[in-house]
């Protein structure tokens, strides 16, 4: 039986790796998710058999309760709330690792086991409260901006020293649970303190980083309970999260340390006067411009998610193609409020994957684009990143929509984006503002074509 269990673990690990590989492309992502889910099922069954005597009554209760919550979330949570749900998933993953590590405590635990227990509790607690703060910022239940105060770095340093000191004392005196309680408490506080200084356009990076933390916590818990597949799964999640975090930092032209410790947009910058005037356009006039276009680029942002406009965008795309236009989508790595947010929305609307172009692929084509349609995006198309040295996003690679012959910006109002930065694009000579709900505006364009 033991050989069969270990073989099941190997199969499960292989399915995780293969599924993760498939998740690297939108065309195979669903298949990769299914493969990984099968791998997790195999791992759970093998782990239950490996434990020998298990009270399956509680296992069944947990299975039914968790399955019901997951099914309800999948059906009821709107796509606009997906970033918040991902943050909660990361948080509860961290909490689970904290509890598993705590449950692994035993009187005869060795030093290595005690260290892994402390790590699973520390990283799990940090991930849990940090993810709750990220959830609050993304849902705007709390302020989305950076929260900074005098002496913040000193306070954080004292918390870290307190965690390290308490962890060492617990490993030296495992019978004294007071030290462990201090580690738990300080890790929860540190999770809050680590995320509140981060806000604005940095939130997608935070989500991917917390995802990595949840994997590292699971990996530490795997060492604590001596379960190889939990170690493998946690390592895969942790490594992939770190890689994704680095990719997103590169897309923002910032280091991870700068994201974590600078407080986005917190520094004082000189007010920049934006020259030009807003030029609104009606749906009817926008139709005439689009009707004559032969090359159209659509740049989606969080506003498309809010308006739930992905399906009408797909319909407009089909009408433009029937009219003889080439249509592509420009996807910025940090568009939306979580990694891959726009890809998920457009995949839901069955937009062909080969039309989804990354920033580096769409930018060289932009000068030949007749009409660029910006739907709810703001910071990722802001030319201030190239032109205004005092801007907080200066140096950040953006999609150069202002180089297109004509730009339509679909917005409800002139309000700034999530980063709270003025956008000179709106005042450019080739930009026209199509005000109103994006879904209704695109619906109007569809009716004009029809």
Catalytic residues: 379
Dihedral (CA of 152, 270, 396, 406) sign:
positive
Pairing of the two strands 406-411 and 295-300:
unpaired
Residue 166 near residue 159 (C-beta atoms within 8 A): no
CA end-to-end span of the chain, whole Å?
66
Distances (CA, A) of 125 to 133, 157, 182, 183: 13, 17, 12, 9
Asked if 335 contacts 380 with a C-beta cutoff of 8 angstroms, the reply is yes
CB 20, CB 32: distance < 8 Å: yes
Closest to 221 measured CA to CA, from 349, 333, 98, 133: 98
Beta-bridged to residue 295, according to DSSP, are 326
Other Cβ atoms within 10 Å of 434 Cβ, number: 22
- Phi-psi group of 422: left, alpha or beta (phi > 0 → left; psi -120 to 50 → alpha; rest → beta): beta
Report, in angstroms and rounded to the nearest whole number, the Rg of the chain calculated over CA atoms.
Answer: 25
Show the tokens assigned to 55: 């009270």
The CA dihedral of 296, 300, 305, 308, to the nearest 10 degrees, is 0
Distance of CA 345 to the CA centre of its chain: 13
Cα–Cα distances in angstroms (integers) from residue 4 to residues 1, 15, 225, 228, in the given order: 5, 16, 19, 14
- Please give the Cα distance from 130 to 124 (Å, whole number): 10
How many CB atoms neighbour CB 2 within 10 A?
8
CA distance 432 to 298: 14
- Nearest in space to 126 (alpha carbons), one of 214, 203, 233: 214
DSSP 392: T
* Parallel/antiparallel/unpaired status of strands 326-331 and 295-300: parallel
């Amino acid at each position: 039986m033991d050989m069969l269990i270990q073989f099941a673990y190997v199969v499960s690990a292989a399915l995780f790796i293969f599924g993760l590989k498939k998740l690297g492309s939108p065309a195979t992502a669903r298949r990769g998710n299914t493969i990984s889910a099968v791998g997790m099922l195999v791992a759970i069954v093998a782990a239950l058999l490996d434990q020998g005597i298990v009270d399956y009554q509680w296992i069944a209760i947990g299975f039914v309760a968790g399955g019901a919550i997951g099914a309800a979330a999948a059906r009821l949570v709107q796509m606009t709330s997906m970033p918040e749900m991902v943050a909660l998933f990361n948080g509860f993953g961290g909490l689970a690792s904290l509890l598993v590590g705590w449950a692994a405590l035993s009187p005869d635990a060795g030093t290595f086991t005690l260290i892994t227990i402390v790590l699973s509790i520390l990283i799990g607690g940090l991930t849990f409260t940090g993810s709750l703060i990220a959830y609050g910022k993304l849902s705007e239940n709390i302020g989305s901006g950076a929260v900074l105060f005098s002496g913040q770095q000193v306070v954080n340093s004292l918390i870290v020293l307190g965690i390290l000191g308490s962890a060492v004392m617990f490993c030296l005196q495992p019978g004294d649970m007071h030290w462990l309680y201090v580690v738990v408490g300080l890790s929860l506080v540190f999770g809050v303190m680590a995320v509140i200084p981060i806000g604005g356009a940095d939130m997608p990076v935070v989500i991917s980083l917390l995802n990595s933390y949840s994997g590292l916590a699971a990996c530490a818990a795997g060492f604590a309970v001596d379960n190889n597949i939990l170690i493998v799964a946690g390592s895969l999640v942790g490594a992939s999260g770190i890689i994704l975090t680095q990719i997103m930092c590169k897309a923002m032209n910032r280091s991870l340390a700068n994201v974590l410790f600078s407080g986005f947009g917190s520094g004082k910058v000189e007010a920049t006067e934006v020259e030009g005037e807003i030029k609104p356009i009606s749906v009817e006039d926008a139709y005439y411009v689009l009707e004559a276009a032969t090359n159209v680029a659509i740049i989606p942002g969080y506003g498309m998610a809010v308006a739930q406009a992905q399906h009408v965008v797909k319909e407009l795309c089909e009408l433009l193609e029937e009219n003889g236009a080439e249509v592509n989508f420009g996807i910025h790595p940090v568009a939306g409020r979580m990694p891959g947010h726009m890809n998920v929305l457009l995949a839901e609307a069955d937009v062909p994957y080969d039309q989804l172009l990354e920033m580096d692929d769409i930018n060289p084509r932009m000068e030949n684009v007749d009409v660029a349609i910006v739907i709810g995006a703001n910071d990722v198309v802001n030319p201030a990143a190239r032109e205004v040295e005092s801007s907080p996003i200066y140096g950040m690679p953006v999609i150069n929509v202002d180089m297109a012959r004509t730009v339509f910006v679909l917005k409800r109002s002139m309000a700034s984006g999530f980063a709270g930065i003025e956008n000179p694009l709106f005042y450019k000579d080739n930009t026209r503002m199509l005000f109103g709900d994006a879904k209704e505006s695109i619906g109007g364009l569809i009716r004009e074509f029809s």
